Every structure is written in C-alpha cells, then in structure tokens.
Amino acid sequence: MEKYSKIPEAKMESARSDVDDILANVLTDCQLPSPKELTHGYKDGGDGAILLFPPAVLARIIDPLLGRLGQALVRYDQQRLASSPLVRLRVSVHAGPVTGPELRGGNALVEVSRLLDSQALRQALTAAADTGSFLAAALSETAYQRCVHGGYTPQLDSQHFLQTTAQVSNKPDYQALCHLHVPGLPGAALAPYLSDEPDPGTPPAGPSPQPGPSGPLPAPAPAAPAGGIQFHAPLYGATVGNHIERVRNTYPHH
C-alpha cells in the first residue's frame, strides 16, 4: 500500500481491511485461492502481504488478476468516503521455489521483495496516479517469459508492458530485468516516468576509446565474471539471435 505509514493510526486497520476484502473478492472472481486457503502461503506484512500460489495458477495471477484488481480499486475509490484514505497498490510477481513454511527463505522471496521496492515500480505507480489508476505491477523476467511471452495471458501481450531494469536505492548491488504494467495503459506510456532508470542491457559508462593509427579503437569488451558462465535470466533462441551478429572463437592459439 502506498504511503501506508502516513495514514492516521485510527484509520490504518479499516484501510487495510478494505484492501483485504478487495483482494479476497478479486481472487474469488479469478478462481484463485483466497489467502485463507493458502496453507503456509500467506504472510502479513502490515502495509502489504506475501501470497504464495501453486505454480499451475501463475498465469492467472497476471491475467485476469491484475486487470480485475485494478478495476476493483477504481470502484473502491469512486465509493469511498472523502475522509477515507486513498488506496494505491504496488504488486510484484515472480516464480521460483520457496523454502520453509514461514516464508522467510529462498531467493524467490528476495527477488519478489526487491521488485516491489524498486524505483521502477514506484515510478510506474506515479504514472498510474497521474492517469487515474490505482495499481502498478512488476513482473520478473521469469514470470514474464513463462506467461506473457509464452502466450498464456490472453488479455495481455508485450505492448502492455515496459521492460526496464529494477534497482533499489539502498541495495546498490541489485539490478534485474523486469516488466512493468499499469492496467489500462500501454507499456510505452510508462517510459517518460523512468527517465532516471538505466535502459536494460546498457553497459556502464566508461572512458571513451582513444584514437589509434587507423581511427578510433573499438571499445573494450566487458570483463567476464570470474568463476565461469553466469546466467541471470532464462535464454530463448529468438531473443538471443536478435542480438548476436557474429560469434568468434577467442580461445588462445598454441
């Protein structure tokens, strides 16, 4: 929930209960388990919650859930009392194993929390606010590729998302590809709000190449990470093929 800590204390419980009711109704409408039915799959965080769903329903968490949740929040805002707090939500979706029934361990939980706290998702929520919406979502690369790219979200395709890099202000070592979505907006409409975000795949700035005898020298290749090859996201043939023009054997000759 956006700015939950700024809600007057006497109204916090009712605002959070309203959100719980909205979510429970939308989950039922989408034929998804309610939080009460998620055995060892629900953890309350005060201003939000973690919900752990079975893998079989991953696509429905994206479509139709995000769209219907966005619509429910619009209806709520139209009906709420003027004295009731404004409710806007950030949502992140990721897929991966979770260890332990207390939802305290596993890289998947770390990843979904980082996405939720990212500057990119916060800026997407600003875009939502400016256009009369109340929900912004971030999908991890894994969730996007498995569901949207895989064609399992009939109402949502690539034009409804904006790919960017998720970063967290107090986690300087973290960055990951993600896909932003605000129900009712094309993904491209979010781009102006991410002006301070680096473009996905943009290498860090470095010194300019110095001219050589025959013109400018090529920019140095990025250093390979030590310890072998690291894959930070799923690879797909068509995607990789669009970016690799030539493969060259760089092993030293003896």
Whether pLDDT at 247 is above 60 = no
Read off φ and ψ for residue 149, nearest 5 degrees.
Answer: -60, -35
Return the amino acid letter for 148.
Answer: V
Torsion sign, CA atoms 90, 166, 161, 104: negative
Q: What is the mean pLDDT of residues 47-60?
A: 92
Output 30 or 7, whichever has higher pLDDT.
Answer: 30
For the entire predicted model, the pTM comes to 0.75
146-198 pLDDT, tens digit each: 999 999 999 999 999 999 999 999 999 999 999 999 999 999 999 999 965 44
Predicted confidence at residue 251, as pLDDT, reads 41
Predicted confidence at residue 135, as pLDDT, reads 98
Q: Are strands 89-93 and 135-140 parallel, antiparallel or unpaired?
A: parallel
Read off φ and ψ for residue 173, nearest 5 degrees.
Answer: -90, 0
Three-class DSSP labels, 76-91 = HHHHCCCCCCCCCEEE
**Beta carbons within 8 Å of 196's beta carbon, 6+ residues apart:** 119
Torsion sign, CA atoms 230, 231, 237, 241: negative
Position of tokens 């029934």?
A: 101
Question: Which structural domains are found in the chain, ordered by start?
Answer: 4-201 (3.30.70)
The answer to whether 139 and 179 have CB atoms below 8 angstroms apart is: yes
Q: How far apart are alpha carbons 54 and 138 in whole angstroms?
A: 19
Q: How far apart are alpha carbons 146 and 153 in whole angstroms?
A: 10
Report helix angle 65-79 to 9-29, nearest 10: 140
